[in-house]
Every structure is written in structure tokens, then in C-alpha cells.
Structure 1
Amino acid sequence: MWFKNIQIFQLKDTENFSSADLIAKLPEFPLRECGSQDEFTFGWMPLIRNSEQWSVASDLCLLIRAGKEEKVLPSAVVREELEAKVSEIEVVEGRKVGRKEKADIKEELVFSLRPKAFAKRTDIWAYIDLKAKLLVLNSTNAGMTEQLFKLLQTTLGSFPMVPLQAQASPAMVMTDWLMKNDVPASLETGDECEIEDSSEDKAKIRFKSLEPLSEDVTRHLEQGMTVKSLALRWTDKMSFVLNSDLTLKKVKFDDTLKESAFNDSQGGALSDMDANFSLMSLTIREFFESYKLWFEIVDE
């Protein structure tokens, strides 16, 4: 299991956290199928479909998986049904349907159509690193992140965590790297960069297949624009696009790491997952030590 997106939160009061307690309670809050009028459900899922393996532990890290099942009701279907109903009323009763009445009709239609809608499942993987005091998610989706936090709090009663607190503005730090051609020694710039200006409309320019240190990029930075995202490679272990909100996207772990995990595996889906997770979590733990220094992230 190699994360392709990374969002990091810091844990507080980890001395009061019990991995054993969480492991024991995961099956008590499983993802269930949507009922006829459920918009969505959210709950824990086994790491492997149709198994009883709800977590994997490695060097004070615990891998878990949650999922969301939601009823998918295409907007085109609702719109078509709404237009037909409104037209019928206007023809039969000879009057115009107002905005509020139309909204009420739409709500009734959604209620009646939802039981017939098909259900779609999406998942979110996460792990808790008690040594580094981190919660690491493989998603940057705000809605899924919020639901995961709620589920953790419901499962454990409380789950104290905070977003990363950077004392240095990530946008300004990355801008400074490019303006001064002074990227940290452990980093190399990639071929993707997005910059934005400080106006209200936040005009953006995206550069692809272009060296971020090129004159085309730095010229705009000299005029006051700042870096919103930047493709980077860290040591020989991983590459990613670093965003000004401190999330990582398009994460790719080096093939040598994956080969090492393959060699460590005893064979089988669960053993493969265990080996992959062990190397991935150690790599991210090491990476976070550099990450903290770049942006002066405060330890909780």
C-alpha cells in the first residue's frame, strides 16, 4: 500500500492513546450499506476485502482503512424529472411554479428517487505513527478527511489532533527557493510548478515540462507572484508535488524501495501490504524530519 497523496496531522496526548483499544473497536463501527433514505454511510473497512484483517502494525505505526458508501443520484435525472413535474403543473393548473415551490418539488423527487439510486464506495487509508506523533492520510479530500476524524472520535471517544503549524509561510519559502536558486540539499526541482498573484481573483499560471528555475518562472516571481505548488524529488526515495497548504500530491516512491519491500514480503496479499507499509511509514517518518525544518513546523 503506497500512498499517492499525503496529508499529515500532528497528534496530541499520545500517551493516552491505546493502539490495542483502537484495534479492538474497529469491527464495532464497520461500513454498512446505505439504507433506502441514507445519503451516505461511513465506517471502518478490513484492509483486504472479505477478510477479518482490520489493521497492520509496524514499528509503532498502525495502518487502518475507512470507507464511504453513498447513493449516486445523477443530477441530469433529477433535473429531467423536475422539469417534467413543473411542466405538468403549469399545463394542468395554468400557473407558473415559483422558486420555493420548485425547490420543494425537487426535495420530494430526491426523496422518492434515492431508494432507486445505485451505491458507490470510496475508501481512505490512514496510519498513526506513535513515534513521530503523526496521523498520515492518503487523501487530501476535505470531506473524507472530516468524516475520518468524526469516525475516530466516535470509535475512541476522543482523538486529539491538529493540522501542521508552520511558522514560515510554505508559499514564501518555496518562492524563496526558486528566486535564490537555493533549494535544500536533499531536494531537486521537478518539471511542474504553479504560481499565483496576490490579487483578489488569485490569477494562476501553471508550468509543465518546464524547469521551475527557468527564467520564464522566476520572471513572474520577481513581479510579485508566489509559488502555490512545486514538483520536487526528495533524496532518492520519493517524488511529489508540494502544495502551499502542506499537502503532497502525485507521490511516487522510488522503485528501489518497492523492490526492497517485494524482497521482504513472504508472499500473499497481507504480507505484501505489511512489507510495503513498513518501508513507506519509515520513509515518511524520515521525510517529516526534513519537512519540519523547511517550514519551521512546531512540535506538539
Structure 2
Amino acid sequence: MFAKNATILQLPERVDFNALESALTEFPLKEVGSQEAFSFGSMPLVRNSETWSLRSNDCLLIRFGKEEKNLPSTVVREALEEKVAQIELIEGRKVGRKEKADMKDELIFTLRPKAFTKRSDVWMHIDNMTKVIVIYSTTATMIELAFKHLQTMLGSFPMVPLQTQVSPSSLMADWLQRNAVPAWLETGSECDIQDNSEDKARITFKALEPLSEDVTRHLEQGMSVKSLALRWPEKISFTLHDDLTIRKIKWDDAIKEAAFNDSQGGGLSDLDASFTLTSLTIRQLYMSLASWFEIMEKTDIQEQAA
């Protein structure tokens, strides 16, 4: 399982893996109903298997899925426009805003059962050593649905975004201005910076090796770093954003080859081998982020809020 994006959130305490694994099969993804917009639930890690989770290195890998009715807004809009035009032509009157909204709701009710369904999934792992959950997505909707599903299964599941004492944007700007990224990192080929004025103008620089003087000049004039491409040799390349989401992850061939060599062959074995290596890598990366940006412990956050 080689994630392409990751959002890391903090947990106040270790998660009871036994309780969570028991709950997975009790709240599975179900077929979306004829009048439901979507359904959401747990899924086996591999289709048609009975394996719903994997453990490795004090980490637990799980998978959730979403099934939704694919009713394009253009279909609804065209049907609504046609119905409004008919009323205005036949009855010789304008259709008001409220009536139009009611008509739209009726059309959705009528069209939804005929709509095609599509399925998507979201993977995540919980690391009990560092007390974080790593959701392999940066889509807010999927993260929120995953959070609610975890709460449904366990009764409660408090998790919070990473909170830092050092501004990620400021520190990344300092790395670039002093050409002083952490010792084991290298700058990648892209940097996105933003003007702090009201218009929020953004500039994306590519081919950043060696570090461009254009970038540092703009930073000296007060622009801030929104994202920076970085490389951890023989591990991963990624883009780090100022909210500490990790995107455009590319796993080094050395990691993939090691996972291939560790696998016994087959879907679950391949997944187990890749998860073992990637979870350790993400753990090391998170611990580095926590050090660089002084990520606050959950107890510190609670004390500040008191």
C-alpha cells in the first residue's frame, strides 16, 4: 500500500486495536439505498477476503468505503430548466425561487433511483507508538466521513489536527533563504509561494535545483511558502504543505523492491510487506515533523485551552 497523499492527525491516547477490529465487521459498507445520497462503512482490505485489518510495528491498517449515487448536476439542471420553461410557456408566469427549489428537490427524488452508483475508498493506519492516525487522503469530505465512522464504531474517537509552535510556512521559508533544509532532506523541483497582501497572489516555481534566487528574493519581500517539494533519498519524495498535509508522495524504488522481496506473493502478502515498510517510514517522517515544527502534544493543547 503505497499512499500518494496523507493527512496526519493526533490522538490523545492509544487506540484499543482489539475493539476497533471487532467493530469493523459490525459496520460494513452497505449498498446505497434508492433514495440515499451515499453510504459509508468498513471494507475488507482485499476484495472478497475476510481480512479487515493488518497489524505491524504497533500500527493498524484499515479501509473504509463510500458508495454514492452518481447524479450529475448538469442532468438535474437541464431537467429543471426544461420543467420551468414548460410552466412559463403554458401558464404564462414566472417561476419563483422557492417553487424552483421545491421542483429541484422533486426531480432529485425522481432521478436518484435511476442514477448509477460509484464506489471510492479511503485507507488509513493508526500508529499507537506516536499516537497519530494517518489518513491516506487530503479530501476534507472523506476525512470527515472517516472520523464520523470511527466515532460510530467506538462511541467516541477524539482526534485533532496537528498544532505547531513553529509556523511551517516560516520555517520552510527559512530553509530556502539559508539553503539549510534538514541534513537528510533535499529540496525537490517545486515551490509554491503566496503574497500576504489582500489579493493573495501565488507563484509556483519549478525546476528548483539549484535553489532559485527568484524564490529567495520574493521571500525576502515578505511572501510565504505554501508548499515545498522535498526528497528523502532512498525513501520518498513528497510535497509538504503549510498545513502539514503531505501530497504527491512518490516512493523510492528501494522501498518498493524491499517490499517485493519481503512478500511471499499474493494480494495480502504484498499488502502486508508494503505496509510494514511504509508505516515505519511515515512514522520516522512524522517524528521529524514533530521535532522541526514543535508539534504540540495533546496534553499541551488541552492545557492551553483550559
| Deviations 1:214-244, CA, capped at 9 Å, x for gaps | 0121121111111100000124311100000
Q: Distance in 1 between matches of 2:105 and 2:205?
A: 43
Match of 1:40 in 2: 38
Match of 1:192 in 2: 190
Q: 3-state SS of the aligned residue for 1:28?
A: coil
SS in structure 2 opposite 1:178?
helix
Amino acid at match of 1:229: S
SS in 1 for 2:32: coil
Is the contact made by 1:12 and 1:133 (CA closer than 8 Å) also made in structure 2? yes
2:272 aligned counterpart, secondary structure: helix
Q: What residue identity is the alignment partner of 2:248?
A: K
**Superposition TM-score, scaled by structure 1 size:** 0.97
Alignment partner of 2:94: what SS?
A: coil
1: CA distance, partners of 2:162 / 2:236: 21
Mapping of residues 1-300 of structure 1, within 5 Å:
1-14=1-14, 17-211=15-209, 213-300=211-298
Instruction: Specify every segment of 5 or more residues in structure 1 that has no aligned partner in the other structure, as ranges.
Output: none
Would you say the 8 A contact 1:56–1:62 is kept in 2? yes
One-letter amino acid of the counterpart of residue 153, structure 2:
T
Which letter does structure 2 place at the counterpart of 1:133?
K
**Alpha-carbon distance in 1 for matches of 2:142, 2:219:** 34
Q: 1:295 to 1:66 in 2, by over 3 A?
A: same
How far off its partner does 1:212 sit? 7.1
CA distance in 2, matches of 1:141, 1:163: 14
Task: Give me the whole-angstrom Cα distance separating, in 2, the residues matched to 1:65 and 1:207.
Answer: 36
Is the contact made by 2:186 and 2:231 (CA closer than 8 Å) also made in structure 1? yes
Unaligned 5+ runs, structure 2: 299-306
Count of paired positions: 298
Q: Tell me by how many angstroms 1:20 deviates.
A: 0.9
Give the partner amino acid of 1:93.
E
CA RMSD of aligned residues (A): 1.1
Structure-1 separation of matches of 2:33 and 2:98: 28
Alpha-carbon offset, residue 187 of structure 1: 1.1
Structure 2 CA distance for aligned equivalents of residues 72 and 110 of structure 1: 11
Q: Deviations over 1:133-181 (max 9, x none)?
A: 1100110100000000100010011112221111111111111111121
Aligned-partner Cα distance in 2 for 1:11–1:98: 49
**How far apart are residue 11 of structure 1 and its match?**
1.2
**Percent of aligned pairs with the same amino acid:** 64
CA distance in 2, matches of 1:74, 1:160: 35
Letter aligned with residue 91 of structure 2: E
**Structure 2 Cα separation of the partners of residues 33 and 20 of structure 1:** 27
TM-score normalised to structure 2 length: 0.95
CA distance in 2, matches of 1:129, 1:83: 51
- What SS does the aligned partner of 2:86 have? helix
**Aligned residues of 1:13 and 1:160 also touching (Cα < 8 A):** no
Inter-partner Cα distance in structure 1 for 2:247 and 2:210: 17
Quick check: 2:122–2:136 contact (8 Å CA) kept in 1?
A: yes
Determine the C-alpha separation between the residues in 2 that align with 1:45 and 1:10.
Answer: 23
The residue identity in structure 1 corresponding to 2:13 is D
